[in-house]
A and B are shown apart, each in its own frame.
Chain A
Amino acid sequence: MARRAAPEINAGSTADIAFLLLIFFLVTTTMDVDTGITRKLPPPVENPDEDVDVKERNVLKILVNSHDMLMVDGKRSDVRLLKDKTKDFMALHPDNPDYPEITTKFIEELGKEFPASKGVISLKNDRGTSYEMYIKVQNELARAFNEMKDERSVELFGVKYSQLVDENKIKAINKLVPVRISEAEPEDIGGK
């Protein structure tokens, strides 16, 4: 019995079907990458009355009030100056009582001891501060620390921090330049 050749399926409309799907995905796609400043919150304090003793000279106090004005170490300041001020504060100033104390820190990854500043940045904002201002301040602080990391990295390994590939080196830099930003427990100052 002669077999009849099966008629070929008309594939001409596959393109149309694919187009339909394509358009669906085109419309639903959101290509935006989420970017932001990553921070780690401290665990809640158990004894609110217990004050952690930090020496005055080791702290750079940053206050932002409800009118988005900035005060750094008791003086009015500007966001544009904040980065350099932070870097200056966190830099090593041996034998200068105006700057933070210096300790030595053993870095396992490099097998050597390094001098490190004991400085902490303390950030306090009012409930009425705008989020925009807060992010500006956080951004400047992040920039200060990133630049310090870059400088340290260039000094030790000859490349910028962002171009480091070796995980140990990245760890070492992170230990050498810890991002020490402490946010004060919220307080109501200045009302609404």
Chain B
Amino acid sequence: MPGINTSSLPDIIFMLLFFFMVSTTMREVTVRVKQRMPEATEVQKLEKKSLVSFIYIGEPKNTKLFGTKSRIQLNDVFASVDDIPEFIAKEREARDEADRKFITTSLKVDGNTKMGIVTDVKQELRKSGAFKINYSTRKKVERRSR
């Protein structure tokens, strides 16, 4: 009995490889706050991931070290509200001149967070001129009960 010809096996694997290479988005920040997003039905997809900057807000994962009070995380570190203008300026600096007005700020906020901190962040964003925001939510599967 002749053996199975395996010479096309690399090609098949390569095909899979390319698929994953293309669909991969590398996560460059380690999220240090709890992120259990609220659910919503009327969600839109965030287009153009390269034009989105993220602000994470929530209870720190390491509660022993950082306590249970909700914190803001910008890039890899905890920050305060006052750091936001600088963060926005840097994010703008990193993008192409032509793309700057399309930058969306995605607020990834834990559902248990109080609105106070979110409002502070929003006020700061308004002052910095980052008007386009996106409240990150999970998509809820709609049950048509009514």
Surface stretch bound by B, among A11-19, A98-106, A111-119, A168-176: A11-19
Residue tally, chain B, CB below 8 Å to A:
54
B61 contacts which chain A residues (CB < 8 A)? none
The number of A-B residue pairs with CB atoms under 8 Å apart is 145
Cβ of B63 under 8 Å from chain A: no
**Bound state CA distance, A30 and B26, in angstroms?**
7
Q: Given the known inter-chain contacts A15-B6, A26-B20, A33-B45, please indicate yes or no for A40 contacting B131, CB distance below 8 A.
A: yes
Closest to B54 in A: A34
A142 contacts which chain B residues (CB < 8 A)? 40, 42
Q: Given the known inter-chain contacts A36-B137, A41-B133, please indicate yes or no for A128 contacting B106, CB distance below 8 A.
A: no
B101 contacts which chain A residues (CB < 8 A)? none
Cβ of B95 under 8 Å from chain A: no
**Bound state CA distance, A135 and B112, in angstroms?**
11
**Bound state CA distance, A110 and B65, in angstroms?**
61
A39 contacts which chain B residues (CB < 8 A)? 133-135
Q: Are A134 and B115 in contact (CB under 8 A)?
A: yes
Q: How far is the CB of A32 from chain B (nearest CB, A)?
A: 9
Q: Are B114 and A127 in contact (CB under 8 A)?
A: yes
Render B107-137 as a binary contact track against A, CB cut-off 8 A, 1 for contact. 0011111111011101101110111111111
B129 contacts which chain A residues (CB < 8 A)? 43
Q: Given the known inter-chain contacts A35-B138, A129-B114, please indicate yes or no for A11 contacting B132, CB distance below 8 A.
A: no
Q: How far is the CB of A100 from chain B (nearest CB, A)?
A: 23
Q: Are A34 and B49 in contact (CB under 8 A)?
A: yes
**Bound state CA distance, A31 and B23, in angstroms?**
7
Render B41-69 as a binary contact track against A, CB cut-off 8 A, 1 for contact. 11111100100100000000000000000
Cβ of B104 under 8 Å from chain A: yes
Cβ of A5 under 8 Å from chain B: no
Q: List 17 A-B contacts (CB under 8 A).
A: A15-B9, A15-B13, A18-B13, A31-B23, A35-B43, A35-B137, A35-B138, A37-B43, A38-B133, A38-B134, A39-B134, A41-B131, A43-B129, A128-B114, A131-B113, A132-B111, A186-B120
